């Protein structure tokens, strides 16, 4: 079976499993405990925090370990916006309509429970948002702007640095959801200019349930979880030391390999896209053809059902997806594709292929399987 749903999750890397194992066995202690076993855990946690901070270009104290990308996004959006409302009477949140549900539903929560106005800045037909449009959406009471670095369905990459320049000029924090970008794109705060960033370990070869929010120390952050005051009071709960070690290890490995793997996979992706477009009638590439993740190729196949194509592909030994795993099973068309101007009936024909970092061979056979699957669905069998 060939697995091309790496945007949904990745297998745990052997190096990551080896790194975390001691903190599941011998050094299993609670990092808050003041004895040998607890202090060993605390040292490992502090080291993991420093390593994650280094990749993100932040200070160790800026890192909050979370249970994954969804929690990191919720903590960023709700925590920064509510703190801004308390400190300076802010009541406006800006995002885009193609964000992950963790961002969009957090914005809806801010509106319903805390009275925020929410502005979704439109994107163009490739999924890109204009920095000028973001600038036009800002108000004196804007608490936060949140933009996905790379879209989880179509792979479109935003010009984060240009957007950050706009928000910085107005003194408004920028949160970047980098869950899909990590391992493929630069993550340095110095280069990108963000104030907060979310990442998730299971997109990088760490276990599910691991993640982090990086947030500059000058940004007030209201916690969502209250209790023992861990993570400097920003995220209470006994820390997952093994998970933090796993995340740091996976992030280090991905960063060391990033430039080489991105160039290699981009070339294979481009050849795959070209073959699919040339062999599948009415196939359409979605997302930006240039500003896209190296490992993402997403298509619509007019006249089919995306779910039916996926079933045919799996019969041929290829596992893929119709979009975000978080929306799997929904009968609704992709909100990302609809926001990009794709008709709902066409959006429901979407199929997404997301590749692993170690991909090294041409995908001609996979492209041929796509053509055969689409033809089978169109012929009714």
CA distance 113 to 118: 12
DSSP state of 224: S
Q: Given strand 174-177, what is the order of strands in its sheet?
A: 63-66, 211-215, 196-200, 174-177, 142-148, 92-95, 117-120
Vertex 53, ends 6 and 259: CA angle to 5°? 50
Known catalytic residues?
A: 326
- Where are any strands of DSSP class E within the chain? 2-3, 63-66, 92-95, 117-120, 142-148, 174-177, 196-200, 211-215, 283-286, 296-301, 318-319, 350-354
Integer Cα distance of 238 and 245 in angstroms: 15
Q: What span, in angstroms and rounded, lies between the C-alpha atoms of 357 and 365?
A: 19
Our CA angle for 215, 221, 224, nearest 5°, is 110
Q: Which residue has the tokens 């000028």?
A: 132
């Amino acid at each position: 079976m060939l697995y091309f749903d790496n945007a949904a999750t990745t297998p745990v890397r052997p190096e990551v499993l080896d790194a975390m194992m001691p903190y599941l066995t011998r050094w299993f202690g609670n990092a808050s405990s003041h004895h040998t076993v607890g202090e060993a855990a605390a040292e490992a946690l502090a080291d993991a925090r420093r390593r994650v901070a280094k990749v993100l270009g932040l200070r160790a104290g800026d890192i909050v370990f979370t249970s994954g990308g969804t929690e990191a996004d919720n903590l960023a959006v709700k925590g920064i916006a509510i703190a801004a409302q308390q400190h300076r009477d802010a009541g406006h949140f800006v995002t885009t309509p193609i964000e992950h549900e963790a961002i969009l539903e957090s914005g809806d929560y801010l509106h319903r429970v805390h009275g925020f106005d929410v502005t979704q800045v439109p994107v163009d037909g490739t999924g890109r948002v204009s920095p000028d449009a973001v600038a036009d959406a800002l108000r004196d009471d804007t608490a936060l702007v949140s933009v996905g670095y790379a879209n989880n369905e179509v792979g479109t990459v935003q010009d984060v640095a240009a957007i950050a320049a706009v928000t910085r000029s107005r003194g408004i924090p920028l949160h970047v959801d980098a869950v899909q970008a990590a391992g493929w794109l630069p993550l340095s705060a110095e280069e990108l200019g963000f104030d907060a960033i979310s990442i998730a370990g299971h997109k990088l070869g760490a276990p599910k349930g691991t993640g982090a929010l990086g947030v500059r120390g000058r940004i007030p952050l209201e916690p969502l979880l209250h209790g023992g005051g861990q993570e400097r009071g920003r995220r209470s709960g006994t820390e997952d030391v093994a998970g933090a070690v796993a995340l740091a290890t996976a992030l280090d490995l991905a960063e060391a390999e990033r430039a080489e793997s991105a160039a290699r996979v981009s070339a294979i992706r481009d050849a795959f896209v070209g073959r699919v477009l040339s062999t599948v009638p009415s196939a359409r590439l979605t997302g930006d053809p240039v500003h896209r993740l190296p490992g993402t190729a997403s298509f619509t196949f007019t006249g089919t059902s995306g779910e039916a194509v996926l079933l045919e592909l799996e019969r041929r030994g290829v596992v893929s997806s119709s979009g975000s795993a978080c929306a799997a099973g929904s009968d609704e068309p992709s909100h990302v594709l609809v926001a990009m101007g794709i008709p709902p009936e066409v959006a429901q024909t979407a199929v997404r292929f997301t590749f692993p970092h170690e991909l090294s061979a041409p995908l001609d056979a996979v492209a041929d399987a796509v053509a055969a699957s689409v033809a089978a669905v169109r012929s009714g069998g």
